[in-house]
Amino acid sequence: MSAELTLGAEEELHLIDLDSWRLSASAPRLLETLPSESYAAELQRTTVETNSRVVHTLGELRNELVRLRQGVMDAAGALGVGIAAVGTAPRSEISDFELTSSQRFGAMQEKYRLLVDEQLICGFQVHVGVSDRDLAIQLAQRVAEHLPVLLALSASSPFWNGHDTGYASVRSLVWQRWPSAGATGPLESAAEYDELIADLISTGVIADDGMAYFDIRPSAHAPTLELRVCDALPLVDDAVLIAGLFRAAVRTAEIDIENGVPLRPRRAPVQRAALWQAARTGLSAELLSAGARPHPIDAGDAVRGLIESLRPALDEFGDYAEVQALAEDALARGNSSDRQRAAFARTQELDDVVRLVVAETQSIGARP
């Protein structure tokens, strides 16, 4: 067994009217002009999803993210629309929701009601090539303890329904309301995972394997292990950082399996607590340390400790220097949630927060 360790990403982008700074339900018009292999509709008409090509390096992934964002910007500019890659659009309100017209989405709205009606959120998914599904299940179990740090780095959704929630990532709380979100629980094989999905489908609670909204899972549509816990990230640098850390975590887990290192999983409530803590404070306070029995640790120390624990894999990919530099930049400026709150504190105007996240998302020049 061995993982291919390729990279891919999906970004969900809020569409923002540049006159009112509110959400724009213009996705159907935009998608008519964009290639379907790279862009897709989401539940809400105010969001477009991008889908990268399969790549092998962080530099190639950066180029893909820039290319795909530029494609939306080019199409949206004529409509007076911008893009914001954040977990929640700062000025969004529940009344802004407009369902994308499709039989599937209509059935979902009928079944899940509030969960669909309030789905004004955007995430960032990273795919790492692992075509052996038994291996993917084993890797997912081992990588799970690192997800809180990745969530804290990505946190970009402090505002919800027009007010500050007190959370760095309220998107993750909204997402966890889905009945198939969160952790899978202990699994040892693809057969066990498939049995779990079949059981969920047979209950009638979910319709198909595409609705298995776990924090980390074998992809439903690609031979990959998919990270799903992160908020959308306005800065391309931060998205590249998350991708680099996740791939290195997957490779480190693979090495541990090859070396016979025993798995010591966290109990599900402890993992839930660690993710809640990351969603609550992001990088601004303490996170929970890695390991089966975590303890509070400074967020910066948690990020730097993760990088050092992954260094052999990062060195193998030639990513260590870049990931370390990107992480230090992220820690110095804070995550998007920190920057949004700072912008609001200056003027007490949510419009200024929206301007910030649009400007950051659309500032897509490649890192020198």
Mean pLDDT value across the chain: 96
197 contacts: CB under 8 Å, gap ≥ 6: 209, 212
Nearest to 242 by CA among 341, 322, 353: 322
Tens of pLDDT along 279-289?
Answer: 999 999 999 99
190 contacts: CB under 8 Å, gap ≥ 6: 133, 134, 136, 137, 218
The alpha carbon of residue 267 and the mean position of all alpha carbons in its chain are separated, in whole angstroms, by 23
Looking at residue 368, its pLDDT comes to 32
State the amino acid at position 266 in one-letter form: R
193 contacts: CB under 8 Å, gap ≥ 6: 133, 137, 184, 187, 217, 218
Contact call for residues 240 and 85 (beta carbons, < 8 A): no
Tens of pLDDT along 103-133?
Answer: 999 999 999 999 999 999 999 999 999 999 9
Residue 102 lies in a domain: yes
Residue 1 lies in a domain: no
Q: At what angle do helices 58-77 and 350-362 cross, to 10 degrees?
A: 120
Looking at residue 365, its pLDDT comes to 58
Q: Answer whether residue 220 shows pLDDT above 70.
A: yes
Residue 367 lies in a domain: no
Nearest to 211 by CA among 94, 115, 89: 115
- Which phi and psi (to 5°) does residue 40 adopt? -145, 160
The residue segments making up the domain with residue 146 are 7-362
Residue 2 lies in a domain: no
328 contacts: CB under 8 Å, gap ≥ 6: none
Domain of 34, CATH number, reads: 3.30.590.20
Share of the chain above pLDDT 90, in %: 95
Tokens 């899978």 sit on residue: 184
Beta bridge partners of 15: 83
Q: Rounded to whole angstroms, how far apart are CA atoms 45 and 169?
A: 22
SS3 string of the chain? CCCCCCEEEEEEEEEEECCCCCECCCHHHHHCCCCCCCEEECCECCEEEEECCCECCHHHHHHHHHHHHHHHHHHHHCCCEEEECCCCCCCCCHHHCCECCCHHHHHHHHHHCHHHHCCCCCEEEEEEECCCHHHHHHHHHHHHHHHHHHHHHHCCECEECCEECCCCEHHHHHHCCCCCCECCCCCCCHHHHHHHHHHHHHHCCCCCHHHCCECEEECCCCCEEEEEEEECCCCHHHHHHHHHHHHHHHHHHHHHHHCCCCCCCCCHHHHHHHHHHHHHHCCCCEEECCCCCCCEEEHHHHHHHHHHHCHHHHHHHCCHHHHHHHHHHHHHHCCHHHHHHHHHHHHCCHHHHHHHHHHHHHCCCCCC
The total number of structural domains that make up the chain = 1
Q: How confident is the model at residue 29 (pLDDT cuts 50, 70, 90)?
A: very high
Tens of pLDDT along 79-102?
Answer: 999 999 999 999 999 999 999 999
Q: Rounded to whole angstroms, how far apart are CA atoms 30 and 26?
A: 6
Opening angle at CA 351, ends 160 and 66, nearest 5: 85
Q: Averaged over 307-332, what is the pLDDT?
A: 98
Looking at residue 292, its pLDDT comes to 84
Q: Rounded to whole angstroms, how far apart are CA atoms 75 and 77?
A: 6
87 contacts: CB under 8 Å, gap ≥ 6: 121, 122, 123, 154, 155, 156, 157, 169, 170, 171, 172, 231, 232
Residue 18 lies in a domain: yes
Count Cβ atoms below 10 Å from residue 145 Cβ, excluding itself: 23
Tens of pLDDT along 222-254?
Answer: 999 999 999 999 999 999 999 999 999 999 999
Tens of pLDDT along 187-218?
Answer: 999 999 999 999 999 999 999 998 999 999 99
Please give the model's pTM, rounded to 2 decimal places.
0.97
Looking at residue 291, its pLDDT comes to 87
